[in-house]
Amino acid sequence: MTGDKRMLKNDRRRHAMRLGWLRVSASSWLIAFSLLWLLMPSARAQNPKLIDQILVLVDGDIITRSDLIWNMALEPKSPSPAGPVSSDLLSLELDVTINQRLIAHEAARVPSAELTQDEVNKRQTELIAQFPSEAAFRQRIESVGMTPEKLEELVRELIARERFIDFRFRSFVFVTEQEIQAYYEKELVPKIRAQGAVPPGLDAELPNEKRKIRDSITEILKAEKIEQEESRWLKDATQRAEIVRLAEP
């Protein structure tokens, strides 16, 4: 019996030592993590590509510096994000990304048909067509570490935003005949005459296109109205949202 008690006592001692080691280990990890957190700014200064940076929270949704770089990579008119990017340009891209998140959050609340892979592939093909070549596009996104999986994820998000804009704004935008005529007379005709040419009629077809001037003007005016409505909506959405800026890009 004495031997059993001794064994039990030893087991308890080993268990206590093990718990003590775990506590020390956990404390050590916590201290190490805290030191790593404190050292992050200096590490980021030495090599900004090693650690990502959280910039903003939009209703709890994180926006990082990589999000800005990836967005720029998918914009044909943006400079290559692989090289040095000015803080001013990143600040503008941050504003765009915040707006995209606000739209994405609202789009998630609206019932919508599930995306098919064919739709994703088609939109991705349309996106690539905006660049000089597919090789140039692939090189551009690979230079910023964008994987095929991440590209598909971003294309799906793009389609979701476009669906919401069509549903929320485009469906309720109308252009009147008076607005078309006014644009034709005040905007188009003076420009054509300034070039020494005779303005064609509204129902004339555009060169190399199978649509009339009237249709082109309608699309221009629709786009302007959608942009105005979207800007108003984003202003209200920004005021309603909880946007926390944690760092400058």
The tens digit of pLDDT for each residue in 193-206 reads 999 999 998 998 88
Looking at 61-188, list the stretches that DSSP marks H as alpha helix, in order from N- to C-terminal side: 65-73, 87-109, 117-128, 134-142, 148-168, 177-183
pLDDT of residue 33: 36
Q: What is the pLDDT of residues 125-170, one digit of tens each?
A: 999 999 999 999 999 999 999 999 999 999 999 999 999 999 999 8
Strand pairing class (54-58; 243-245): antiparallel
Q: In the chain, where are the structural domains located? A: 172-225
- Residue 207 has a CB neighbour count (10 Å cut-off) of 6
For the chain, which ranges sit under pLDDT 50? 1-50
Stated pTM of the model: 0.72
